[in-house]
Amino acid sequence: MPSRFLPLADVAEMLAISSAQAYALVRSGELPAIKVGGRGQWRVEESQLEAYIARMYEQTRGSVQAPQGHQPPPS
């Protein structure tokens, strides 16, 4: 049975980012997570990770779509 919660190392691997970047996403609140256990290990619920990815797709779509009739500046 797959785990409902993912450790930050797995989150980092799935997003192809460093562990420090995954930790920063959690600490900033951009990626909701919980602390569990006596040592306070961060865990991200799989559904929260999927929601984060969907938000990033939407944000990216919004930033790359130019308004109608507007040409992007030449590179």
Q: What is the pLDDT along the chain (75 residues), one digit of tens a residue?
A: 678 999 999 999 999 999 999 999 999 999 999 999 999 999 999 999 999 999 999 999 988 875 665 666 666
Distance between CA 10 and CA 48 in Å, rounded?
14
Distance between CA 51 and CA 55 in Å, rounded?
6
Q: State the pLDDT at residue 29.
A: 97
Q: State the pLDDT at residue 60.
A: 93
Domains of the chain: 5-56 (1.10.1660.10)
Please report which helix (H) or strand (E) contains residue 34, including its range.
strand 34-36
Give start and end residues of each alpha helix (H) in 1-75: 8-15, 19-28, 46-64
Q: State the pLDDT at residue 65.
A: 79
Determine the length of the chain. 75
